[in-house]
Chain A
Amino acid sequence: MSGLRDKYCIVGVGETAYTRGAGRSTRSLAAEAVRRAIIDAGLQAADVDGLMSYHVGDSTITPTLATDLGVRPNFFADPFGGGSSTESLIGLAAGAIEAGMCHTVAIYRALNGYSGLRLGGSARQGPHTITGSQLDSLPYGLASPAQRFQLAFARHMYEYGTTNEQLARIRVVGSNHASNNPKALYRKRLTVNDVLESRWVVKPACHLLDCCAETDNATCIIVTSAERARNLRQRPVYIMSTVGRVTRPFPDFDADVQCSPITRQAGYYGGRLAFRNAGVEPTDIHVTGCYDCFTFSPIILLEAYGYCELGEGGDYVSSGIIELGGARPNNTSGGQLCEGYAQGMNLVIENVRQLRHQADDSCPEGQHTYDYSEGGCRQVKDVELTMNMGWGTPAIGSAMILRR
């Protein structure tokens, strides 16, 4: 097992606006994002012969989308799942092409994450009738992702002394980055106190501002062979390795607290594959993209993949390293906490643009200032290597290393 290093590329990315109240169907959102990605790549509908999408029963499936855009797939798949899917599906797309099933795959995720199925919000009332595996959680008032992950977060605070101030740093850094991202839903720069003074959602780790910004949006990433990529509009971004969905023991949603350490993420195991197959190490990476459904997730992901020691994530993210201008910026778009929750897709799109040296900030095209003050640049200078760390639960993860 050595992966398909540099044989496949991301050649197109696209997205809709990140909004609260799109007033459109996921079908309409998906069509816009896929169309934008196809145009970004310099392709036409006839050039795309593979479609993939992931969902939790809340989206539009690929045969429908294919019909709308006139895409004629030789391959399509709509796997069930949320976080940890983006990198996994990109790897699967490369696999489908390698198998000769198709040559160019558009992967999209479309969700009305605010207007429709709202994973963490009050719009979701939960079933009145509780049956089957629901009997293991819902009778105890355990339903939302924040509630489900909190047991691991609290244990991390107990074992390692991770503080709410350190968690807040993730949001603050994200907000600073988002202030330089015209697409971001929340562009206001925040302070640690802003986070600590926001209302509690679940104690001890989730104030309101520790939670991501649920939005309506669609996103798309196009994968093709390196050979085809060389003749397309954009500079190719090479896929060095993909991992996912990697697990730790007992990955079932209700059972993942049975095996200690519950603070250890699936990425602890996934990183071995990601780095080996890419032939690089954490210190080689210039920009990271950590799944940030909650402020805690980047901290435990950076630990899991070896950017710092287990338990030192809180200090690491407070050190300045992860900020624009720091040694290894993380989530330069503002991430899902500030740009908008897109189940990880937008974190990959951001790194693709960073690797093209085309971060869509307010700088004139091709003239990045590298001035990271508010409203300024967010392109990281001379980016060559990025890593995305996806996250479904503490027990389910994904990752991808990209190069210019």
Chain B
Amino acid sequence: MAEYKGLDLVVTPTDPEHRGYFEAAASGELVVQRCGACQMLRGTVGAACPFCMSGEWDWRPVSGLGTIYSYEIVTQPIQPAFGDWVPYPIVLVELDEQRAVPWRGGGEDELVSVRLVRNLVRADDPTLPEDEQKVAIGKRVRACFVPLGGGMALPQFCLSDETPEHEPWQATSGRP
């Protein structure tokens, strides 16, 4: 068990997937599941491979580098734990390691990537949310880690120094 922003993050004995994820983070590694049969990577924790149904998998360390594919800014926290964070960004980060793989041959123009939903936090203090003005689709990010104690850490993302992948985009219409 670990505490984060007053929340108790509990990894049960029946949940080796989340344990492995948070423990790798404690040693400074971002890991994703890799299928033991077809080697495809998975962006969210799962019990089998969506590409080949294999139940074999291992942890694959990734670079932690990626691009913001989408984002949002939460201004009304419905979780009291995030009351001191608003407005805070949630980003959908597409990792460099596996991008736009055609799904089942690609007949429906469906492309699968490895994407993580995390917060965009400040590079100088990953316990704080990044300024909403700096969040934009297309910007490059890198993984960073918030120590949780108990041999676990929480991976997050912060802006990197890399050139954006394309012209950064942030919604502008509507009342600021």
A→B interface (CB under 8 Å): 120-122, 124-126, 128-133, 135-144, 147, 150-152, 154-155, 157-158, 163-165, 196-197, 199-205, 207, 248-250, 252, 254-255, 257-262
Interface size class for chain B? Answer: 35 or more
Residues of B near A200 (CB, < 8 A) are 73, 75-76, 174-175
> Is there contact, CB below 8 Å, between A255 and B72?
no
Name the residue on A nearest B82 (C-beta).
A141
> Is there contact, CB below 8 Å, between A154 and B79?
no
> Is there contact, CB below 8 Å, between B43 and A204?
no
> Is there contact, CB below 8 Å, between B72 and A203?
yes
> Is there contact, CB below 8 Å, between A150 and B169?
no
- B70 interfacial contact with A, CB 8 Å: yes
Using A122-B78, A261-B109 as known contacts, list a sample of 20 further A-B pairs with CB atoms less than 8 Å apart, ordered by residue number in A: A124-B78, A126-B80, A129-B10, A130-B7, A131-B15, A132-B15, A135-B9, A141-B77, A141-B82, A141-B85, A143-B78, A152-B70, A163-B174, A164-B171, A164-B173, A203-B174, A207-B174, A258-B42, A259-B110, A260-B113
Asked, given contacts A138-B79, A141-B74, A250-B112, whether A155 binds B69 with beta carbons under 8 Å apart, the answer is yes
Residues of A near B46 (CB, < 8 A) are 252, 255
> Of A144, A155, A259, which contacts B111 at CB under 8 A?
A259
Asked, given contacts A143-B79, A200-B75, whether A138 binds B173 with beta carbons under 8 Å apart, the answer is no
- B150 interfacial contact with A, CB 8 Å: no
> Is there contact, CB below 8 Å, between A140 and B112?
no
Asked, given contacts A203-B132, A249-B103, A259-B112, whether A155 binds B79 with beta carbons under 8 Å apart, the answer is no
B window 141-176: CB within 8 A of A: 154, 169-171, 173-175
Measured CA separation A147–B119 after assembly (Å): 12
> Is there contact, CB below 8 Å, between B92 and A196?
no
> Of B18, B79, B109, B173, which contacts A126 at CB under 8 A?
B79
B→A interface (CB under 8 Å): 4-12, 15, 18, 42-46, 50, 69-82, 85, 87-88, 90, 92, 100, 103, 109-115, 117-119, 132, 137, 154, 169-171, 173-175
Name the residue on B nearest A121 (C-beta).
B78
Q: Say how far A204's CB is from chain B's closest CB, in angstroms.
A: 3
Residues of A near B170 (CB, < 8 A) are 204
> Is there contact, CB below 8 Å, between B117 and A260?
no
Measured CA separation A142–B9 after assembly (Å): 15
Measured CA separation A137–B117 after assembly (Å): 8
> Is there contact, CB below 8 Å, between B174 and A151?
no
> Is there contact, CB below 8 Å, between B171 and A139?
no
Measured CA separation A254–B116 after assembly (Å): 10
> Is there contact, CB below 8 Å, between B72 and A158?
no
Residues of A near B171 (CB, < 8 A) are 154, 157-158, 164, 203-205
Name the residue on B nearest A164 (C-beta).
B174
> Is there contact, CB below 8 Å, between B73 and A197?
no
Measured CA separation A132–B132 after assembly (Å): 29
6 A-B pairs with CB atoms under 8 Å apart are A125-B79, A139-B7, A249-B112, A250-B112, A257-B92, A257-B117
